[in-house]
Amino acid sequence: MPGRVLPTFTSADVKSHNTAKSCYITLGSNVYDVTDFLDAHPGGGDLILEYAGQDVTDILKDEISHEHTDAAYEILEEYRIGLVSNVSTPGKTTTTTTTTVIETETATENESGPVYAATGMSREEDMSIDTDFNQDFKTHKFLDLNKPLLMQLWYSNFSKEFYLEQIHRPRHYRGGESAPLFGNFLEPLSKTAWYVVPSIWLPCVAYGITVGATGLGSATAAASYFTGGVCLWTLIEYLMHRFLFHIDHWLPDNRVGLTLHFLLHGIHHYLPMDKYRLVMPPTLFVVLAAPFWKLAHAVFFYNWYAAASVFCGGVFGYICYDLTHYFLHHRNLPSCYKDLKKYHLAHHFADYENGFGVTSRFWDQVFGTELVSPTPKGVKAHAGNQGKIPLIHPIIR
């Protein structure tokens, strides 16, 4: 195999990089710069910072703390930057007087197989491992990630059963970038940054509640209707996620149905860590929100301002939902949100037919679709109570 040149670091060099701004760790003779991984670590960056500048071999294998899988080691490999100059290992030539090490590359393969047959995933980290585009296409004969996705799907002859099987097997685009959807000038229109949501809709909510309070003649009354709208949103969130975004069983078995499903929610399960295809584009939100504007005025027909205040509460609930959803995927969150993060990511890598609540698991508990921790190997997910799955491993920290 071809060799590659790696820089070497002294132990003192490594130990000096022990802050959130520059965090190095070692695993045997390898040095890793994990600064950019701190926010993405499922257990939080603080757990890594406890070992900043130190060797993590023992803690990674510690079953009491949490033994890590092969997937975790694969992710760590992406952050390798060099070798420790005063540590020698077989097969590697190191020196303390030069700045490079010549190392023979070796390929490793995880032979343990997937835990969840329905998704091909074992743990949440698996969703962040770059997919081998050519191998994936050769193996599954689904979408070629080297090419724009939309037209591939439109001109395909995939059956609904095959399509649903494949989009629920998460892929990860190289380097965390977005896969091409259109492949032309329309491409930027297919991406939405998370901050677009509050930037557009919070001013609208503020204006709406101000109008509502003025029309009702009471800030207290407007706040009550607004709060009611927020509470109603939690139910709408659950129902839309379960019966619209996961319309799987009632999905038409034709290219129009499959393509619309892919654009609405399928692409998020296919590429769950795509930062720019996670929150809802403003145009789509307007289309989905319009019926609820009509519904609010039909229910609260006796007072236009009451209906407007309830609707604004619902929109505010949506904003909180979309931001929460994004942060669950892409940010290190306070301890009170860590269980929610694990719960939602399990919806992606373990059982996509349960766990529909994003901001809360309350309605999952009410309707019997609550996710319970992992399934034995090879067991597929099923809807309702039958889909509850016992975890054979804790989700990695």
Q: Name residue 119's beta-bridge partners.
A: none
Annotated binding site for heme: 41, 68
Residue from 270, 254, 250 nearest 262 by CA: 270
Pairing mode of beta strands 22-27, 18-19: antiparallel
Tokens standing for 250? 């009632």
Contact 118, 381 (CB under 8 A): yes
- Spatial neighbors of 328 by CB under 8 A, at least 6 apart, are 337, 340, 341, 344, 345, 358
CA angle 312, 313, 315 (to 5 degrees): 60
Using alpha carbons, select from 210, 235, 8 the residue that is nearest to residue 102: 8
Is residue 121 within 8 A of residue 351, CB to CB? The reply is no
Q: Where is the binding site for Zn(2+), in residues?
A: 241, 246, 265, 268-269, 325, 329, 344, 347-348
- Per-residue DSSP letters for 48-77? HHTTTTSB-HHHHH-TTT----HHHHHHHH
Q: How many CB atoms lie within 10 A of CB 157?
A: 6
Name the residue among 28, 124, 43 with its Cα closest to residue 77.
Answer: 28
Which amino acids are annotated as binding site, given as ranges? Answer: 41, 68, 241, 246, 265, 268-269, 325, 329, 344, 347-348
Q: Where are the alpha helices (DSSP H) in the chain?
A: 11-16, 45-49, 57-61, 70-77, 133-140, 149-154, 160-167, 196-216, 219-240, 255-261, 267-270, 282-299, 304-330, 335-349, 362-367
Distance CA 225, CA 212 (A): 9
Tokens of 92: 């590697």
Please tell me the distance from the alpha carbon of residue 3 to that of residue 360, in angstroms, as a whole number: 50
Q: Which residues pair with 83 in a beta bridge?
A: 8, 30
